[in-house]
Chain A
Amino acid sequence: MSHFEDVIIDIQQLSFSRSDRPIYNNVDIKIPRGKITAIMGPSGTGKTTLLKLIGGQLNPDSGKIYLDGQNIPTLNRRELFVIRERMGMLFQSGALFTDMSVFENVAFPLRVHTKLPEDMIRDIVLMKLEAVGLRGASELMPSELSGGMARRVALARAIALDPDIVMYDEPFTGQDPIAMGVLVNLIRRLNESLGHTSIIVSHDIQETLGIADYIYLVADSSVIAHGTPEELKEVNSPQVRQFMEGLPDGPVPFHFPAVDYHDDLLQRGV
């Protein structure tokens, strides 16, 4: 896996479990600098957990997560907050601050981390909102937005400080086709023009295959395949094929573990 010239995040031997349920077991993942890397896999495989591990919001049971040589789990609170200024994260729910308007939400990172004059903050916020198509919504409160719009505002907020690394947690879920196209382009454009490193967690296969430079497929608490989109299309492992083609039957079970369906239905109440 040392085929990347420039690795920004290097995850080594990562293990993490939640109340005895293993989420990751000795996982190695390398995120190349300036590229779009996608983490894909079925629901419940801990893709969001991985982003939280990278952000230092969770601590792994063992293993190392290097960001430019700094091992994130060993950082203290203050160092963590400094390193997080280099990261932007788009939360699945948007996680906008409900007591601030759309404008103030996007302005918030600028206000706390920079000493820019007010008119410059205004310009930057409007530019970021224009990029996600919501400049006209700047005076609205988060409660007045739809889920998809809230996510786009959250994206504008995540890129307000032009971070080195932007982590997108399910950016395409709940977007209409037009917004989806715009978002795909936006992520691609941000990556090209500003040189962000992007990490996308998603299970929207087509959109993700379209923009990702490199893909990690995660299932059963480990990486089952990784490679460029072209390489992944060629992988013959049934597990990978099932996910890439969206088949209900295959090695990855669609059903949560349960007793036999027939027995369950026939069972009389005790």
Chain B
Amino acid sequence: MESLARLGRFGLNNLASLGRSGMILFQAIVARPQPLTMFPLLVQQIYFVGVLSLIIIVVSGLFIGMVLGLQGYTILVDYGSEQAVGQMVALSLVRELAPVVTALLFAGRAGSALTAEIGLMKATEQLSSLEMIGVDPLRRIIAPRFWAGFICLPILAAIFSIVGIYGGALVSIEWLGIYDGSFWANMQNSVDFADDIVNGLIKSVVFGFVVTWIAVFQGYDCIPTSEGISQATTKTVVYASLAVLGLDFILTAVMFGEI
């Protein structure tokens, strides 16, 4: 009986927090947007969330591209089809690795920072004092951060793809000596704009939405103590990563699984 009650409580708590997160999203974004006041704040947040994430994205993209080139070559060379390594690198990056790895890195770098920042604002009563000054913190604090994440993640994923492909090219062409003409030509022939690039973009848009939503909600909804903030930050990274991986499977199934 006790465990049944616990299960019920668990379910109710989760439903309630899902409801709260929906309300926050709605009030921050849908209800009465103020593009003019938000624009400077948005630019500032794009800098914090996006531009400052560039280094980790570029470096990771480069290494992952290089590893793909190397692994692809060692497998494909057995079948004498090492010319196809360009195609393999590009497809795995554009379809899967760029959106997913970017979203995971983004959750760790920018998502956790967003949660901690908003949580600390809550703990130090800055959100309360905004409210008492007559400024809605959902629109002043949450909305620009949400939009910044939503805008930046697809762009970061695209940069990740580009850098990764160059990393793959570097290893395959410069180091392993694959003929560069066939590397690039194979890639161009096999990567389809609508099927591969647009689908990859859709994935990163969805991930951007989910990761930033989780991050700002966890910050806004956290218990305003140091322990609460640390829990919220952990939750952001864990929930966002799981959501990204789970959604990635569903999106892949819908896009490429022909169901």
User: Which residues from chain A sit less than 8 Å from chain B, CB to CB?
Assistant: 52, 55, 57, 77-78, 81-82, 84-85, 87-89, 91-93, 95-98, 108-109, 112-113, 154, 157
Indicate whether A55 sits within 8 Å of B133 (C-beta atoms), given known contacts A95-B124, A95-B126. no
Closest chain A residue to B139 by CB distance?
A81
| A108 and B132 within 8 A (CB) | no
B231 contacts partner chain A, Cβ-Cβ < 8 Å: no
Q: Collect the chain B residues with CB atoms within 8 Å of residue A77's CB.
A: 27, 136
Interface assignment of B129: CB less than 8 Å from any CB of chain A: yes
Residue of A nearest to B127 (CB): A95
B:162-214 near A, CB below 8 Å: none
Whether the Cβ atoms of B124 and A98 lie closer than 8 Å is yes
Task: Kindly provide the distance from the CB of A58 to the nearest chain B CB, expressed in whole angstroms.
Answer: 10
Q: A108 — which chain B residues lie within 8 A by C-beta?
A: 133
| Shortest Cβ distance from B140 into A: residue | A112
Question: Taking A95-B124, A95-B126 as contacts, is the C-beta distance between A89 and B27 under 8 angstroms?
Answer: no
**B99-137 residues at the A interface, CB under 8 angstroms:** 124-126, 128-129, 131-136
Q: Which B residues lie within 8 Å of A87 (CB)?
A: 132
Least CB distance, A45 to chain B, in whole angstroms: 20
Complex Cα distance, B110 from A76, in Å, reads 33
A57 and B131 contact, CB distance less than 8 A: yes
| B132 near A97: Cβ-Cβ < 8 Å | no
Q: Which of B27, B32, B132, B135 contacts A55 (CB 8 A)?
A: B132
Assess the A112–B135 pair: CB atoms within 8 A. Answer: yes
CA gap between A81 and B132 in the complex, in Å:
8
Question: Which A residues are CB-close (under 8 A) to B125?
Answer: 91-93, 95
For the complex with contacts A57-B128, A108-B133, A112-B135, 15 further pairs of A-B residues with Cβ separation under 8 Å are: A52-B128, A55-B131, A57-B131, A82-B134, A85-B134, A88-B132, A89-B129, A89-B132, A93-B124, A96-B126, A97-B126, A109-B133, A112-B134, A113-B133, A113-B134
How many angstroms from the CA of A93 to the CA of B128 in the assembled complex? Answer: 11
Q: How far is the CB of B205 from chain A (nearest CB, A)?
A: 29
Give the most central of B27, B125, B129: most A CB within 10 Å: B129
In the complex, which residues of chain B have a beta carbon less than 8 angstroms from the beta carbon of A55?
131-132
CA A71 to CA B19, docked complex, whole Å: 27
Which chain B residues border A98 with CB–CB below 8 Å? 124, 126
Q: Is B131's CB under 8 angstroms from A84's CB?
A: yes
- Would you call B132 and A84 a contact (CB within 8 A)? yes
Among B27, B124, B129, B133, which residue has the most Cβ atoms of chain A within 10 A? B133
Instruction: Tell me if B129 and A91 are in contact (CB < 8 A).
Output: yes
**A247 CB, min distance to chain B CBs, angstroms:** 33
Within 8 A of A (CB), among B11-37: 27, 32
A57's partner among B27, B32, B126, B132 (CB-CB below 8 A) is B132
Question: Measured between alpha carbons, how far is A84 from B132 in the docked complex, in Å?
Answer: 6
How many Å from the CB of A124 to the closest CB on chain B? 15
Instruction: Please name all residues of chain A whose beta carbon is closer than 8 Å to the beta carbon of B134 when the two chains form the complex.
Output: 81-82, 84-85, 109, 112-113
Residues of B within 8 A of A91 (CB): 125, 128-129, 132
In the bound complex, residues from chain B placing their C-beta under 8 Å from that of A109 are 133-134
**Nearest residue, chain A, Cβ from B133:** A109
Nearest residue (CB) in B for A56 is: B131
Is there an interface contact between A81 and B128, defined as CB atoms closer than 8 Å?
Answer: no
- Residue contacts A-B, CB under 8 angstroms, 26 given: A55-B131, A55-B132, A57-B128, A57-B132, A77-B27, A78-B32, A81-B134, A81-B135, A82-B134, A84-B132, A84-B133, A84-B134, A91-B129, A92-B125, A93-B125, A95-B125, A95-B128, A95-B129, A96-B126, A97-B126, A98-B124, A98-B126, A109-B134, A112-B133, A113-B133, A157-B133
Closest residue on chain B to residue A55 by CB atoms: B132
Contacts of A84 in B (CB 8 A): 131-134
Q: Which residues of A contact B128 (CB under 8 A)?
A: 52, 57, 91, 95
A163 to chain B, nearest CB (A): 10
Determine the chain B residues whose CB is within 8 A of the CB of A82 once the complex forms.
Answer: 134
In whole angstroms, what is the CA distance A97 to B126 when docked? 6
A136-B132 Cα distance, complex, nearest whole Å? 26
- Minimum CB distance partner of A52 in chain B: B128
Residues of chain A contacted by B126 (CB below 8 angstroms): 95-98
For A112, list chain B residues within 8 Å (CB).
133-135
Residues of A within 8 A of B124 (CB): 93, 95, 98
* Contact residues in A for B136 (Cβ distance below 8 Å): 77, 81
Closest partner residue, chain A, to B138 (CB atom):
A77
Residues of the A chain whose Cβ atoms lie less than 8 Å from the Cβ of B132: 55, 57, 84, 87-89, 91
**A57 CA to B137 CA, complexed, in Å:** 12
